[in-house]
Structure 1
Amino acid sequence: MSGPHFGTDGWRGVIARDFTFARVSEVTRAILSYLDEEHLSGRALVVGYDRRFQSEAFAREVAQTAAARGYEVCLADRFLPSPAVSWAVRDQNAAAGIIVTASHNPPQYSGLKLKEQFGGSARPAVTARIERLLQKPVETLAARPCGRIRLFDGLSGYRRHLEQCLDPLNLRRARQRLTLDVMHGAAAGILAPLLNELGYQALELRGDENPAFDGHAPNPSVEHLGLLRGLVQRGEATLGLAVDGDGDRLAAIDETGGYCGPQMLFPLLLRHLVEARGGRGRVIKSVSTTHLIDRICRAHGLPLSETAIGFKHACQAILDDDVLMAGEESGAPGIPRHLPDRDAQLAALLLLEALGAAGCTLSALREDLQSRFGPLHYRQSCLSLPVMHCADMQRRIAALAPHRLGGLRVLAVNRVDGVKWLLDGDAWLLLRVSGTEPLLRLYAEAPEAALAEELIACGKTLIASAP
């Protein structure tokens, strides 16, 4: 059994092997000790949960552990997406928020995400302190009056918050027949009612509870959206939107059946915020994110910063500067002036708003973006690793030093997270070990799709020959 470790976003483990009630209580106590050190014990703790196996029971374990330490606990009265918990932390001026979720991971996983008092993912320095507290012997603490656990409605206020973030005129201009695939996750029951009130014909797909998630991870990647794509291709919907298990990842199926993932949605939404809404400010992106972001920022004179993968790295940058938008290749972007966290629900509504402002289809909007700022084609792949080999793979990747990849010269090397080789023609290849699963991830981007695929193949060859 591996010890609790905070990865890219939170602590995750296999249920009943790594993720147990005892471990949940242990990690919760370490988080509370951190909050005590920060003199935040006088404020409430928000606790939420997703729709995974036993999530509500694990959330009650968190709540009871905190109440026994004297904390007032606001426990969600139903499952909630992670962004709703982040919003509740700010709305209730809480010390922090803990949500029981393993996000997009396979069904056998559960986890805890920690949201700091500003309503965003716990920063690396904070999770490092919590991990150190986990290594200390359990202390006998002075008795405190037991705190109170109260149920709260985390959905209605969050929905009102979403509505306040939008331009209703452009949103209504994009009214159409669409299907929302919530993948049996915690985003069920949020967007469809709101959009139907605005005049859409919005059907919610896979909104029922199913902790097995149809046998695969509740991740809106192209291979998991066959049902949604089929509905669009048969003409039963003109647009498909898909949200992951805890509501912080978004993908779309355009009217032709084409897949539109985060690497396309981030630049589409950034362009909308800048060109239609007049937004200004720094843009934050992870090292694995498309260089379309770089090109849009250069065209509009926006400062750009690149971080390691995981929104927790973006959160520190958000606190340090006036940030317009922050995002990464795997999730919905965050709009810090509304919420310093990723939010698939807000991103979906902003996408519809962008379609209304442009007066065109999603495929046309994508083509226009590529025509103006591209062409760039992104590819991703992954290789399974035995857990005990992850550290060794990191060492092997770091030792690689190719001079050419796919026939292109290596111009520079970026080691912010894994190893990223910057190549001729704005092409690149990134290799890194996942922070949440025993996987080696490969990312590539190039002006031609075939070249991007060739770079992925080059990465796999490099790994096979690495010492």
Structure 2
Amino acid sequence: MYKDEYNFWLNSDYFDEATKKELRAIAGDEKEIEDRFYKELEFGTGGLRGKIGAGTNRMNIYTVRKATQGLADYITSLGEDYKARGVVIAHDSRHGSREFALESAGVLNANGIKAYVFDGLRPTPELSFAVRKLKAAAGIVITASHNPPQYNGYKVYLEDGGQAVSPYVNEIMERIKKIKDITAIKVMEEKEAREKGLFVILDKSIDDQYVDMVKSQVLNPQLLKEKGGELSIIYTPLHGTGNVPVRRVLKELGFTDVRVVPQQEVPDPDFSTVRSPNPEEHDAFELALSMAKERGADIILGTDPDSDRVGVIVRDRQGQYVALTGHQQGILLTYYILSQLKERGQIPKNGVVIKTIATTDMLEPIAKDFGVEVENTLIGFKFIGEKIKEYESTGKEFVFGFEESYGYLRGTQVRDKDGVIASALFSEMALYYKMKGMTLLDVMEELYKKYGYYTEYLKSIVMEGKEGMERINGIMSKLREMDIKDFAGYEVEWRDDYLTGQARLRLPKSNVLRYNFKGGGYLLVRPSGTEPKIKIYISAVDSSKEKSEEKVNKIKDAILDLVK
């Protein structure tokens, strides 16, 4: 079956010579041919994501065309008004990103759908903002977020500015599946599309409106204006899209002592100065740390390539630099925002803070103290965006949303995590506490003393290819079949299985198991939705840091023994 598809790509006139040359080069490698053609790159709730290359299971102009044709068919089914409203397209700095963006526009244009295309790199959250601002029917962003350089991806946003979720994503997927002949997909040339008014390059006004919106999310603008120069910031965009907007926002807010890592300032699709362009992995900050130590900077900020995530490193009282976890960053921002709103008497009556089921439960007692509700969603910020949309009709008010993987959002004009907003808020928060003689680590310690010491741990195990996928599925099946009463002696009070629906929270089906421990804490296991990995999350709480860490380590050893 896969060999037939390989031969079709080799011999059809539809595929370009560069594609055929790449495929001829692997002619003797049966395993590689199988991996490229044994399935189609799946369009799921995160859109497409995969390695760049020739084949049905790779990111290339042909798989991008097919996904776009499915989206075009969906938009066409909604009527002429939706076609006229058009689709906004943005991209990051990765290999093939601009090409994939233009191919997407060409397919939409061939279907009579207008495409609004940014003139260069833009952060993913700005795409979400632009969809809402332009009242477009949908949005596409070409990015693989923080994946290694050999990857790229394709994400779809709908008219509310949020990522496509069920049931809408299912409708798009069905239309993609109905496309049996990829060679029938038409692409309109840009020149013709421009002449017909179907291809529009966006001007800088969207950038200006986006920056103004970001600046409106800070809580103490006057403090930043007067004292912003007293906070020393090192920033790295990790070769991605954050460089221009993050620097502009910080400057316009009043932060004058901002230094950017020069080696990582320029977009680079190979991300050549880091092992991985992921702010969750602390070695991505090596160059930034070196600069910070030279200058004695207060805080280091790093955004991922599409600038929807941000990692933070803080200087402690001894002059050492400590990386905050995604959980800690979210807790600090939540506490800061709620405390500032309380000071002004502005905590909404029906206020809600949203987090995912893989994110620390430390949020619960903090939110309770401020009189706001906590709502849990499945893993993925798209589900937080979906809740914001839901609140428009239920009367609840979104206060803040975060997930453990360094994604944060304040405000409702973006419906995805926003590293530009988060960079502004972290800088503001660090300055606010600095003026009180405190570091963010001091604040975190106070919160631990009040609410208990929470320790979180994440282990991602890579299992590539067809065999890897089978192994991951086998691990999940094995855990489901086992009636596990405890891990390393820590009693499991209940198990949530979000695939079978045997869970306390009523959430959409998802291949996730969460074991909840008596006395607090949890172990969560799931396959990654975007990478060939199985992910293990552990959280423990106790009266001291040492006891909490000990719990995590024992639970970690127990689960790793099971998934070998």
Taking structure 2 as the reference length, what is the TM-score of the superposition? 0.78
Secondary structure of 1:225 counterpart:
helix
- Partners of 1:252 and 1:337 in 2: CA distance: 23
Equivalences for 1:266-415 in 2 at 5 Å?
Answer: 266-277=330-341, 278-280=346-348, 281-321=351-391, 322=396, 323-358=398-433, 359=436, 360-388=438-466, 389=470, 390-415=472-497
- Partners of 1:199 and 1:419 in 2: CA distance: 44
Retained in 1: the 8 A contact 2:388–2:412? no
- Matched with 2:145 is 103
Secondary structure of 1:425 counterpart:
coil
CA shift for structure 1 position 462: 1.7
What CA deviation, in whole Å up to 9, does each residue of 1:144-174 have, x standing for no partner? 9955211113433321221222231243445
Retained in 2: the 8 A contact 1:288–1:443? yes
Structure having the higher Rg? 2
Secondary structure of 2:244 counterpart:
coil
CA shift for structure 1 position 361: 1.9
CA shift for structure 1 position 138: 5.5
What CA deviation, in whole Å up to 9, does each residue of 1:206-233 have, x standing for no partner? 1112111125331102232222233334
- Partners of 1:303 and 1:225 in 2: CA distance: 35
- Unmatched 5+ residue regions in structure 1? none
Report the residue type matching 1:332 in the other structure: G
Task: Confirm whether residue 55 of structure 1 aligns to residue 79 of structure 2.
Answer: no
Question: Out of 12, 25, 38, which is 2:78 matched to?
Answer: 38
- Matched with 2:133 is 91
Identity within the alignment, %? 24
Runs of 4+ in structure 1 deviating by more than 4 angstroms, as ranges, are: 138-147
Secondary structure of 1:70 counterpart:
coil
- Matched with 2:288 is 228
Q: Quick one: structure 1 residues 182 and 137, their matched pair in 2 at CA, closer, same or farther if it must change by over 3 Å?
A: closer
Retained in 1: the 8 A contact 2:140–2:154? yes
Secondary structure of 1:84 counterpart:
helix
Using CA pairs under 8 Å that are at least 6 residues apart, name the structure with larger relative contact order, 1 or 2: 1
Task: Confirm whether residue 12 of structure 1 aligns to residue 45 of structure 2.
Answer: no
Report the residue type matching 1:458 in the other structure: A
Task: Confirm whether residue 119 of structure 1 aligns to residue 161 of structure 2.
Answer: yes
Retained in 2: the 8 A contact 1:170–1:354? no
Task: Confirm whether residue 455 of structure 1 aligns to residue 497 of structure 2.
Answer: no
- Partners of 2:133 and 2:113 in 1: CA distance: 18
Question: Out of 438, 441, 458, which is 2:535 matched to?
Answer: 441
Judging by fraction of residues, say which structure has more helix: 2
Retained in 1: the 8 A contact 2:236–2:302? yes
CA shift for structure 1 position 429: 1.0
Retained in 1: the 8 A contact 2:231–2:431? no
What CA deviation, in whole Å up to 9, does each residue of 1:77-127 have, x standing for no partner? 110010011111111111111011011111101011111111121113222
- Matched with 2:268 is 210
Report the residue type matching 1:212 in the other structure: D
Question: Out of 62, 68, 80, which is 1:22 matched to?
Answer: 62
Q: Quick one: structure 1 residues 99 and 326, their matched pair in 2 at CA, closer, same or farther if it must change by over 3 Å?
A: same
- Matched with 2:24 is none
Retained in 1: the 8 A contact 2:129–2:415? no
Retained in 2: the 8 A contact 1:90–1:118? yes
Tell me whether 249-258 or 320-329 shows the greater mean CA deviation: 320-329
What CA deviation, in whole Å up to 9, does each residue of 1:245-289 have, x standing for no partner? 111111100013111132111111111221102443122211110
Report the residue type matching 1:57 in the other structure: E
- Matched with 2:241 is 186
RMSD: 2.3
Report the residue type matching 1:248 in the other structure: D
What CA deviation, in whole Å up to 9, does each residue of 1:377-413 have, x standing for no partner? 1111111113322333332332233211132110111
Retained in 2: the 8 A contact 1:252–1:260? yes
Q: Quick one: structure 1 residues 297 and 247, their matched pair in 2 at CA, closer, same or farther if it must change by over 3 Å?
A: same
Secondary structure of 2:404 counterpart:
coil
Report the residue type matching 1:150 in the other structure: V
Tell me whether 190-199 or 453-462 shows the greater mean CA deviation: 190-199
Secondary structure of 1:180 counterpart:
strand
- Partners of 1:404 and 1:391 in 2: CA distance: 22
What CA deviation, in whole Å up to 9, does each residue of 1:323-372 have, x standing for no partner? 22222111322224342211011012112222344433222222222222
Secondary structure of 1:258 counterpart:
strand
Q: Quick one: structure 1 residues 195 and 70, their matched pair in 2 at CA, closer, same or farther if it must change by over 3 Å?
A: same
- Partners of 1:93 and 1:157 in 2: CA distance: 14
Secondary structure of 1:228 counterpart:
helix
Tell me whether 428-437 or 307-316 shows the greater mean CA deviation: 307-316
Retained in 1: the 8 A contact 2:107–2:186? no
Instruction: Figure out how many residues of one structure are paired with residues of the other and give that number.
Output: 464
- Partners of 2:233 and 2:322 in 1: CA distance: 15
What CA deviation, in whole Å up to 9, does each residue of 1:52-97 have, x standing for no partner? 0121111111111111111121100110010011111111111111
Secondary structure of 1:446 counterpart:
strand
Tell me whether 316-325 or 402-411 shows the greater mean CA deviation: 316-325
Report the residue type matching 1:149 in the other structure: F
Report the residue type matching 1:115 in the other structure: Y
- Partners of 1:116 and 1:351 in 2: CA distance: 29
Report the residue type matching 1:269 in the other structure: L
